[in-house]
Structure 1
Amino acid sequence: MKRWLELLLFGTGPLLALAASPMLARGLGPEGRGQLALATAVFALGYTIGNFGQAECLAADLRRESSAEAKSRYRIVGLASLCAGSAALYWLYANDLGFPASLAVAIAVPVSSVGLMWRARAVAENRVTLVATQAAIPAALRLLVIVALFALNALTTFNAITVSMVTTSLGVVFLWVILHKPTSSREPAPKLKSASLPVRTIRSSLAQGVPVLGFALCTSVVLRADLFFLNGLSTPAQVGFYAVAVAVTESALALSAAFKNRMQAAIYTPDPRRNVKRESAVMLISAAPAVLVGELTAAPFTRLMFGDEFTPAIPTLRVLILAAVCLMLVDCAQGVLAVLGQRTAMFASSAIGALITVALLWLLIPALGALGAAIASLCSYAAIAAMAWAQTYRTLKTLN
């Protein structure tokens, strides 16, 4: 029963995002929708780099029941996320997004970077329902505001970006409040004192985070380079077409997030290998009907939801539906490897995937535009999934 509640909560986010997608497409048009997608990509890249791999390191620490480096990890995240937010502000403003919208993204970056630490702690405590709730609440608030703006004919690129950043930050605040709320069965979370830390401890935390950061950068190339390459090698309209297709298929990531957190929690159980296999099998069985329906209804769905203006996005959507399955496998395998402490394996698979992504994007986008970006994503996701799951099963065998 608990699993289905978590799946429902995780599924709420993508369903609500899907409900908002037609309003964003019709209200912003292809070019405005493309700008929103670029801002979101920069935000995701920023808070990932700003975390500096410390959330994954903290998860591994908690698995070993060690908290000696917790303070240094939080301090690293604080400084790195402020730098990442500043870089996001500069890049977006330099690319004509406008200062207010760029500032909204820059402020949300450090908030979400720290939020990854709290998320790791919630997973380690097997509070996956809390993580799922934290994903659903911002999506609900975001949809309500977008509906109101669309009804008032006041939906602009700036408003859409600001709503996304503010609601995401509110979700992080919600997670912090619940995690730090004392309960009858759990002691209050220990406060991190501001005492000075040995330089050796900080260096150790940085060194542990570097492989994860390298993995995060390579993963960001795999997941986000498509939009940046499209922005540089194709037209703004192609960016918008691709963004619409990605928005539809992003529901797969929410489904994988639910199973990834369950797989990560399964690592802490007496039989992690069996439990991880069970969760991966249930995930694939759950995804199969959605893939079939998506492929059969891609054309009428796109025209009905987004209008004839987005008809060129149909072939891209069909390819990305298949790519979404591979991305689910990548997301879950990398999440399990992070908890298992297999940082080198994470980096190796993502680095190879990044090279494949860049090469295919460079070759395919000039001729095929958004469709070329989709094909490149499908190929790179499939390659990474194969390598990551092979390493995952090899490592799980050693735990039994």
Structure 2
Amino acid sequence: MTRKLPIGPMARNLFATAGVQIVVALLSLISGPLQARGLGPEGRGQLAVVLVIGQIAAFLSDAGTLGYVIRERARGRPRGVLIGSVLPILAVSFALWAIAAWPLALVFGKGDPTLTIMILAQLTLLPFTAATQLGSGVALAEERWRIMMIIRLTVAVVPVLGLLVLFLSDRMSVQSACICYFVATIIAAIPALALCLRSRPLVFSWSITLDAWRFGRVSMLTILITMGNTRADVLIVSQFLSLRDAGLYAVASILASMPLMLTSAVAQSLSRRLSLSSLGAETARASRLLLLVMAVICIGVAGAAPFVLPWLFGSAFRESVPILWILLFGTLCASPSNFLGYATSLAGHPKSAAFAQLIGVVVMAVTMIFLVPAWGLIGAAIGSALSYAASAGVLLRNAHGTSGIQWCSYIIPTARDVRDVVLLIRRKLSIVFGRPL
């Protein structure tokens, strides 16, 4: 007789999102080597700058309203009222980004016309990314996993197909690779826009707009600091070292961050519950289970890195191996940091999450100022890893103060946790293979 696991709905939601994340991770193992082999370290560095700027801008383009939409929709606020009320905030955000686009392109383009134009094009697509995030927020709050799967798979599959065609036809360049991602951004916005249109009539409520702005300005600060903590290291390397170094660092950073897709899957599967909870026992258990799985994954990646990384990306990227080892330690620290930061914001404490990420940014800035000039890429990796550790420490302290649960309960798994994870995996594998394991 199969014992029923106590994580029931959480497990079902997790497998609904984790499956997509696994597919995305596997596709990254295809697109990453194609980019690296087709562009080389310097070209890969240019592409990394464009994509990182696009990622930071995309997360900021909704002016912090995504968390508000998820929370309020989970609590039953009508879709049409929510969307209609946040649209004015989005319009102002787009206008500000349009003003800032040219200066940003000039600064990070480093005098390269191609790089400058690609950055401008990336920032032009912000309305599409904001629409995608708005629709995704509604889908998460309603646990509409099919729509989420379509959006995520579109973002992952379309670039891989384009890059594969470019690589096989020997036509890959920074411009053509960027275009693949631009097309994916536009296509992914279609199902999100369709969900938003089904929310008509859109109703504007000034009180909800003000409430969304009050929530969003703090949340946006959190996002800005988080992006600085998780993405700015590539930009720092590109500005203070070279685009070639940025390419080497980007490859290591992508491999190190891939396990964090599991963090995202867990957080998304629990979005509704986290919106209604206050960092209680269920959040603590999910956090420590997540860290347990992440530790196993990171150890495996670290052991395989010296052999797999050069084989996948080419011998020109062999220098990325020691950078990857250091960043994997940062990934372990980022697991509780990212998950508890997300949970803290949805539990109604965005300022606490913002403060934790701010501490991480300060630690990264200070360490990189001293370490990058002396140790180059190794110094940048150490600064990034220490920033995650600092943020995790602050968030653990905050979770203890809010819930009364000891900080170790969020990161140290129990024997029951290990047993339940093993049973869950065996049950799912039994379904896959059609026989008990």
TM-score between the two structures when normalised by the length of structure 1: 0.88
Unaligned residue ranges in structure 2 (runs of 5+): 1-11, 406-437
CA distance in 2, matches of 1:170, 1:271: 36
Q: Which residue of 2 aligns with 1:159?
A: 176
Change (3 A) 1:348 1:127: same
Deviation at 1:355, TM superposition (A): 0.8
Q: Is the deviation greater in 284-293 or in 377-386? A: 284-293
CA distance in 2, matches of 1:383, 1:162: 37
Deviation at 1:351, TM superposition (A): 1.3
Q: Which residue of 2 aligns with 1:91?
A: 104
Q: Which residue of 1 aligns with 2:67?
A: 56
Q: Is the deviation greater in 97-106 or in 119-128? A: 97-106
Q: Which residue of 1 aligns with 2:426?
A: none
Q: How does 1:170-189 map to 2 (within 5 A)?
A: 170-177=187-194, 179-180=195-196, 188-189=198-199
- Counterpart of 1:154 in 2: which secondary structure? coil
Deviation at 1:326, TM superposition (A): 1.9
User: Given the alignment, which residue of 101, 104, 127 partners 1:110?
Assistant: 127
CA distance in 2, matches of 1:390, 1:270: 18
User: Given the alignment, which residue of 85, 90, 94 partners 1:81?
Assistant: 94
Q: Which residue of 2 aligns with 1:130?
A: 147
Q: Which amino acid aligns with 2:97?
A: A
CA contact (8 A) 1:252 1:325 kept: no
Q: Which residue of 1 aligns with 2:274?
A: 267
Deviation at 1:292, TM superposition (A): 1.4
Deviation at 1:143, TM superposition (A): 0.9
Q: Which residue of 2 aligns with 1:20?
A: 31
Q: Is the deviation greater in 54-63 or in 304-313? A: 54-63
Q: Which residue of 1 aligns with 2:201?
A: 191
Deviation at 1:103, TM superposition (A): 3.7
Unaligned residue ranges in structure 1 (runs of 5+): 182-187
Deviation at 1:368, TM superposition (A): 1.8
- Counterpart of 1:190 in 2: which secondary structure? coil
User: Given the alignment, which residue of 345, 351, 354 partners 2:358?
Assistant: 351
Deviation at 1:202, TM superposition (A): 4.3
Q: Does 1:147 pair with 2:164?
A: yes
Deviation at 1:169, TM superposition (A): 3.1
User: Given the alignment, which residue of 41, 44, 47 partners 1:36?
Assistant: 47
Q: Which amino acid aligns with 2:141?
A: A
Change (3 A) 1:383 1:126: same
- Counterpart of 1:62 in 2: which secondary structure? helix
Deviation at 1:353, TM superposition (A): 1.2
Q: Is the deviation greater in 59-68 or in 358-367? A: 59-68
Q: Does 1:311 pair with 2:318?
A: yes
Q: Does 1:9 pair with 2:16?
A: no
Change (3 A) 1:272 1:128: farther
CA distance in 2, matches of 1:326, 1:374: 13
Deviation at 1:79, TM superposition (A): 2.4
CA distance in 2, matches of 1:239, 1:288: 27
Q: Which residue of 1 aligns with 2:385?
A: 378
Q: Which residue of 2 aligns with 1:282?
A: 289
Percent sequence identity over matched residues? Answer: 22
- Counterpart of 1:153 in 2: which secondary structure? coil
Q: Is the deviation greater in 237-246 or in 223-232? A: 223-232
TM-score between the two structures when normalised by the length of structure 2: 0.81
Q: Please give the root-mean-square deviation of Cα atoms over the aligned residues, in Å.
A: 2.5
CA distance in 2, matches of 1:62, 1:91: 34
Post-superposition CA distance 1:257-289 (Å, at most 9, x none): 101112323236789734323432332232232
CA contact (8 A) 1:6 1:258 kept: yes
Q: Which amino acid aligns with 1:174?
A: P
Deviation at 1:134, TM superposition (A): 2.0
CA contact (8 A) 2:134 2:192 kept: no
CA contact (8 A) 1:128 1:261 kept: no
CA distance in 1, matches of 2:193, 2:232: 31
Deviation at 1:224, TM superposition (A): 2.2
Q: Which residue of 2 aligns with 1:184?
A: none
CA contact (8 A) 2:27 2:156 kept: yes
Q: Which amino acid aligns with 2:124?
A: I
Q: Which amino acid aligns with 2:330?
A: A
Deviation at 1:86, TM superposition (A): 4.8
CA contact (8 A) 1:260 1:335 kept: yes
Post-superposition CA distance 1:175-232 (Å, at most 9, x none): 333x358xxxxxx523314x6x64x664443333221121122112212221222122
CA distance in 1, matches of 2:270, 2:230: 22
Q: Which residue of 2 aligns with 1:248?
A: 255
Q: Which residue of 1 aligns with 2:219?
A: 212
- Counterpart of 1:51 in 2: which secondary structure? coil
Q: Which residue of 2 aligns with 1:229?
A: 236
CA distance in 2, matches of 1:314, 1:281: 28
CA distance in 1, matches of 2:275, 2:68: 15
Q: Which amino acid aligns with 2:125?
A: A
Deviation at 1:110, TM superposition (A): 2.3
